[in-house]
Amino acid sequence: MNSLIKICGISTPETLDAAVTSGADFVGFVRFPKSPRYVSLDQARNLSRQAAGRTQRVVLLVDADDAAIAEAIAAIDPEFLQLHGHETEDRVREIRSRFGRPVIKVLGIAEEADLAGLMAYAPLSDRLLLDAKPPRAPGALPGGNGLPFDWRLLTKLDPGVAFMLSGGLTSDNVAEAIRLTGARAVDVSSGVESAPGIKDPSRIEAFIKAARAAYAAKDQ
């Protein structure tokens, strides 16, 4: 069974190479100006060209309008659109249809009640990305906060739902997260950084190595 790893918030050629060389299946480029991982269209275009044919490219968007989505696609030519805002079911359906790109919809989890809303998005998305809900604080980012949620909640999730696990993952805890949730896809951003927005090649390598080992152990 395929086991997937995504390194999100890539912003430099060096860290892109580290992710690809270490075996990342996806790299993510953040188009949200408030994020410390934000990349301009020119930066994203150059990084995307570097990644083309080597790994899957994902552009992260937050409540983007059609014009912003179109310019991101023109610059990056991503394999996936990651919707990390408050996009409604209708908006997800519309984006997927209008732009013809596979969609990853991000949904926040904090308690069991949050699982109920997942099923409405599952048929509209190519994959769900389950992240910790952002803290209720002024200026809190929609993601990349380095916060885990109670992974045991996902034991109650329909096993037929394709999901990617995110939120507070590091090389130290990713094996436990995979064991508890059964996740076949994981996403990391702040967990491979030396400071907000600063990816560390050695941490990227360590995370991917730990996740691959955990997948292998699960398949034995």
Domains of the chain: 4-219 (3.20.20.70)
Q: Which of 131, 175, 181, 141 is nearest to 157 (CA)?
A: 181
SS3 assignment, position 165: strand
Whole-angstrom distance between the N-terminal and C-terminal Cα of the chain? 12
Q: Cβ(134)–Cβ(141) under 8 Å?
A: yes
pLDDT at res. 219 = 85
- Those residues whose C-beta lies under 8 Å from the C-beta of residue 193, and which sit 6 or more positions away, are 9, 199, 200, 203
Helix axes 201-219, 174-181, angle to 10 degrees: 30
pLDDT digits (tens, 9 = 90+) for 36-67: 999 999 999 999 999 999 999 999 999 999 99
Q: Which amino acid is at 182?
A: G
pLDDT digits (tens, 9 = 90+) for 111-140: 888 888 888 999 999 999 999 987 554 555
- List 8, 25, 90, 187, catalytic entry: 8
The predicted model gives 101-114 an average pLDDT of: 93
pLDDT at res. 141 = 56
Q: Give the single-character DSSP code of 112.
A: G
Residue written as token pair 């990227």:
204
Dist CA 144 CA 126 (whole Å):
21
Active site residue 131: yes
Q: Cβ(128)–Cβ(118) under 8 Å?
A: yes
Q: Cβ(125)–Cβ(92) under 8 Å?
A: yes
pLDDT at res. 133 = 86
Q: Cβ(53)–Cβ(22) under 8 Å?
A: no
pLDDT digits (tens, 9 = 90+) for 143-193: 555 678 899 999 888 888 889 999 999 999 999 999 999 999 999 999 999
Give the residue with greater pLDDT, 103 vs 161: 103
Whole-model pTM: value is: 0.93
- List 131, 150, 187, 219, catalytic entry: 131
